[in-house]
Structure 1
Amino acid sequence: MDDETDIDDTLGHVAVVGAGAMGAGIAQVAAAAGHRVWLVDAAPGAAERAVASTRTALDGRVAKGRLGADEADGILERIEVATSVGDLPECALVVEAVPESLELKREVFGALAESQPPSTMLATNTSSIDVDAVADAVADPERVLGLHFFNPPVAMRLVEVVQGSQTSRAFVEHAVRLVQAWGKTPVRCRSTPGFIVNRVARPFYGEAQRLVEAGVADAATVDHVLREHGGFPMGPLELTDFIGQDVNLAVGTSVWEQTGRDERYAPTRLQQQLVERGDLGRKTGRGVYRWEGGRAVLDQPDLELAARLVGGPVETDPLARTLAMLVNEAVDLVHRGEATAEDVDTAMVLGVRYPKGPIAWGRELGFDTVERTIVALDAAFPGGRYRPSPALRDGGLT
């Protein structure tokens, strides 16, 4: 499709392949926006169970006065179950939301390419797999892009619109307009490992794990510093427990592998050992912390130690290390032309609830200060993890 080709923005049919929590949520979002939606899953009965769960969730919102009964009924009436990809009607958009397996995604996209016309936009909801690798299964890859929703899709505003190297600009613009029409906030990015959020967030987890691993402070104290001094809603050790240590490790490992095993993204032994033991966090009842009733039982932080660490040598300051690495990562992504500074900041605030965007934080701290911190860390821990972005050396993104 030519980049100047207009795409019809009227309400068309939408299909979602994969009826897990993400797929069901995306289907609900599309149906709430007025689309007729088909939900399909290879597992027998999975799509029907997803519709039933959607009904329960909508009934709960009606009971709390957050949604009218007629509106809830309308959403459910617009969601139908299909038995297979081949049985889907002609759609304006198909969103793939199957598990994070490149082989499985290629299989789905190959089937969609055969059954849907060239005008159908094909989107993957992957959080870290290269869009180009998925598009290899499609004869016309210009219509393939990423639409990365965040969990839960109904509540989370952010959607990363991910452009592959062959994605048509017309499809990207159409996706942006569609996401906005669905009441979401789109951010654009190139198909870089981890996209925006999962790339920029790596240091938030990695620095905390390394500080605990090195014995600088215990997990509760590191989390306390990031919450109380940094303003983050949840400390990084608690957050990885909440997400699932296995899930967080898998995303981090994917970014590491896709960047040629760049030392900046190397997994920590601490997290690998948690996963090997099966201490995955909230879902297993134990991770870094013990979990009861879906909540972490946090250890008492060492407040004296926390006060000494913050503002002390950067090598042992959890806040200085984390902020410098977040800013460095964000600046580097913008410097490579993979996203705009505005979209990076929007993504990190909406996607992971950072108190402010890392580019804005860098301007506030001073990019020269951030560079000095990174240089000091590189001297203390040589090996490539701590290397300043060229944009920092050039005075940041002013």
Structure 2
Amino acid sequence: MDVRNVAVIGAGAMGAGIAQVAAAAGHEVSLVDAAPGAAAAAIDRLGGGLDRLVAKGRLTAEEAATVRRRLTPVGSVDELPECGLVIEAVPEDLALKRKIFADLGATQPAATILATNTSSIDVSAIAEAVIHPERVVGLHFFNPPQVMALVEVIHGEQSGAAVLEEAMSLMRAWGKTPVRCSSTPGFIVNRVARPFYGEAQRMVEAGVADPATIDWILRERGGFPMGPLELTDFIGQDVNLAVGTSVWEQTGRDERYAPTDFQRGLVEAGRLGRKSGEGVYTYAADGVLVGGEPDLTLAERLVGGPVETDPLARTLAMLVNEAADLVGRGEATAADVDIAMVLGTRYPRGPIEWGRAIGLAVVSRQIEELDRAFPGGRYRPSPALLDGTLG
């Protein structure tokens, strides 16, 4: 398959970043955006970023110029040359994506791989609008794509095996680490990560501990780069709530993914995190957190105690349980889940590996304790914890 020409639809930060990655990998790249002049402006910004890399000694001037020459703004989908791969990176709107893919299906050769960078929409639903839907896959990059190694390669119901293999090979050739997943709500990272945020919010709601203490425990005792509450402030409470709500809606409002009143309240009050100056925490004008001192005596008392009041054990048990469910349903392999969570979220260990280290039987008992303490379905144990699915 000839993938000399690549196109990216959408010239926002993600689309432009993907375009740069493709150009750096040796492809001629066409960048399209619906807003007049947006694609050209994005390429100019990328040029400035390449110049900064030259100044830091990470690229030669010739390498930067070569990458820049490979990037071409194009006015519309209809004006694209024949491509081996087209990646859509527009806002998360199914109708918009379906319109773009219908146009691509009608104008690009049948052998062209058509990929969506969606983080939350069913790939199969997007592919319904396309002639030859077997060529449609998800290529979910992580921000910024120039830096983040992980790409989730998502297969819809009609995605062809050969197309998926070609997509995996291309991502490796681009220097990325691809993992495969079916088109399940949230894919791997956004699904498995839900308990990391949700358990902390529920423990604050219940008065188990203050946010700073919970964050300290997850950072200092768990090895996570950021605590869950400070991380949602960094991401944006509104953004994190929207992703969680999308997974909840797509799973038929499964109680396991139900958004918390705690986070809804923050968003309704305009406390969106660092970007608004106030979220779970308060921030100075320069973005530095104000206060937020943990109660270390309380932290020492909680860790190692009952699982329902131990922020680390409770969070880990739910992460392992969620990952086990994904693997048990056959939506991703255990190895791919672990790789995805380490590369996509910087967890110190993959959840399946962590569960094996703790002991899958121990985790199963912890989940059963949580289910008894908080009945209703959120803490139902995954059958894959004990049925041999995880080895």
TM-score band, normalised by shorter chain: over 0.9
Q: Is the Cα–Cα contact under 8 Å of residues 375 and 387 in structure 1 kept in the other structure? A: yes
Task: List 4+ stretches of structure 1 deviating above 2 A.
Answer: 290-298
Question: Residues 6 and 86 of structure 2 are in contact (CA less than 8 Å); yes or no, is this contact kept in structure 1?
Answer: yes
Describe how 1:232-271 pairs up with structure 2 within 5 A.
Answer: 232-271=224-263
- CA distances 1:174-224 after superposition (whole Å, capped 9, x unpaired): 000000000000001111110000010000000011111111111111100
Going from structure 1 to structure 2, the CA distance change for 1:11 and 1:116 (only over 3 Å counts) comes to: closer
Q: How does 1:114-263 map to 2 (within 5 A)?
A: 114-263=106-255
Q: What is the DSSP-based 3-state SS (H/G/I as helix, E as strand, rest coil) of the residue aligned with 2:130? A: coil
Cα distance in 2 for residues equivalent to 1:296 and 1:175: 42
Between the aligned partners of 2:266 and 2:374, the Cα distance in structure 1 is 24
Q: Please name the residue that 2:14 is paired with.
A: 22
> Is this contact kept in 2: 1:367–1:395, CA < 8 A?
no
Q: Is the 8 A contact 2:328 2:389 kept in 1?
A: no
Does residue 109 in structure 1 map to residue 95 in structure 2?
no
The whole-number CA distance in structure 2 between the counterparts of 1:297 and 1:341 is: 40
> Does the CA-based 8 Å contact 1:55-1:76 persist in structure 2?
yes
**Could you give the per-residue CA deviations for residues 259-288 of structure 1, whole angstroms, max 9, x where no partner exists?**
110000000111111111221112222211
In structure 2, what is the Cα distance between the partners aligned to 1:88 and 1:309? 59
Question: Structure 2 CA distance, aligned partners of 1:291 and 1:110?
Answer: 45
Q: Secondary structure at the match of 1:49?
A: helix
Partner residue of 1:44? 36
- The residue type paired with residue 165 of structure 1 is E
Quick one: structure 1 residues 284 and 44, their matched pair in 2 at CA, closer, same or farther if it must change by over 3 Å?
A: farther
What's the secondary structure of 1:26's corresponding residue?
A: helix
SS at match of 2:115: strand
Q: 2:336 matched to which residue of 1?
A: 343
User: Is 1:367–1:396's contact at 8 Å kept on the other side of the alignment?
Assistant: no
Q: d(CA) in 2 for partners of 1:160 and 1:81?
A: 26
Contact 1:225–1:318, Cα closer than 8 Å, also in 2: yes
Amino acid at match of 1:223: D
Shift of 1:47: 1.1
Residue in 1 that maps onto 2:390: 397
Alpha carbons 1:237, 1:288 under 8 Å: kept: yes
Amino acid at match of 2:79: D
1:90 counterpart letter in structure 2:
E
Of the candidates 366, 369, 374, which is equivalent to residue 373 of structure 1?
366
- Match of 2:271, SS state, is coil
- The equivalent of 1:3 in structure 2 is none
Q: Which moved more, 1:115-124 or 1:154-163?
A: 115-124
Q: Which whole-Å CA distance do the structure 2 matches of 1:248 and 1:87 have between them?
A: 36
Q: Could you tell me how far apart the structure 1 residues matched to 2:288 and 2:339 are?
A: 28
In the superposition, the TM-score normalised over structure 2's length comes to: 0.98
Q: State the Cα RMSD in Å.
A: 1.1
Does structure 1 conserve the Cα–Cα contact (< 8 Å) formed by 2:20 and 2:46?
Answer: yes
**Aligned to 1:319, what secondary structure does the other structure show?**
helix
- Preserved contact between residue 3 and residue 83 of structure 2 (Cα < 8 Å): no
Q: Distance in 1 between matches of 2:128 and 2:288?
A: 42
Asked whether the equivalents of residues 11 and 34 of structure 1 are also in contact (C-alpha less than 8 Å), the reply is: no
Distance apart, 1:45 and its partner CA: 2.0
| Cα distance in 1, alignment partners of residues 288 and 186 from structure 2 | 28
- Indicate the SS of the match to 2:340: helix
Shift of 1:294: 4.2
SS of the residue corresponding to residue 283 of structure 1 reads helix
Query: Which deviates the most, 300-309 or 269-278?
Result: 269-278
Q: Is the 8 A contact 2:39 2:73 kept in 1?
A: yes
The gaps in structure 2 that reach 5 residues or longer are none
Match of 1:305 among 290, 298, 303: 298
- Amino acid corresponding to residue 303 of structure 2 in structure 1: V
For residue 5 of structure 1, what is the aligned residue in structure 2?
none
Deviation at 1:354? Answer: 0.4
Residue in structure 2 matched with residue 96 of structure 1 by the alignment: 88
Residues 9 and 88 of structure 2 are in contact (CA less than 8 Å); yes or no, is this contact kept in structure 1?
yes
